[in-house]
Structure 1
Amino acid sequence: MRIGSSIVLIALGAVLSFALTPGLIPYVNQVIIGYIFMAVGVIGLIVSLIMASSHRTVVHRQEPDVREY
């Protein structure tokens, strides 16, 4: 999961939890589903940021062994 999809899940969860009237979707507790989407989005965002920050590579260049006679 990348950063963009994590943000989409957080936004979708917030809409389901706070913006829609309860009971709009029959037989589904949309508030709980919204909270689950937001939790998964936050976890995905944290994991994405950790993976992005640890992806740095450091290249150590060694000077060539040049001998002058």
Structure 2
Amino acid sequence: MLDFLLVAALGVWLLIALLLFGIVIAPAVWSRRPARRAQALRVMRELRHWLPRLLPGLPGRFRRR
């Protein structure tokens, strides 16, 4: 039962990350409008700030320096 809950929680996190990247970040980064690109870069900066706090076991490149 615990294994199922862990897998389900990981799946939800993965789904959120893919939706965020696919709907918000990727189209804005490749947009020709500078304002959308700047907004996407701000979102990515915020993610780099908050991901280590939400998921403490991340690989080294995502950890705070």
TM range (shorter): 0.3 to 0.5
TM-score, with structure 2 as normaliser = 0.44
User: Higher RCO, 1 or 2 (CA under 8 Å, sep at least 6)?
Assistant: 1
Instruction: Specify which structure has the higher proportion of helix.
Output: 2
TM-score, with structure 1 as normaliser = 0.42
Larger Rg, first or second structure (1 or 2) = 1
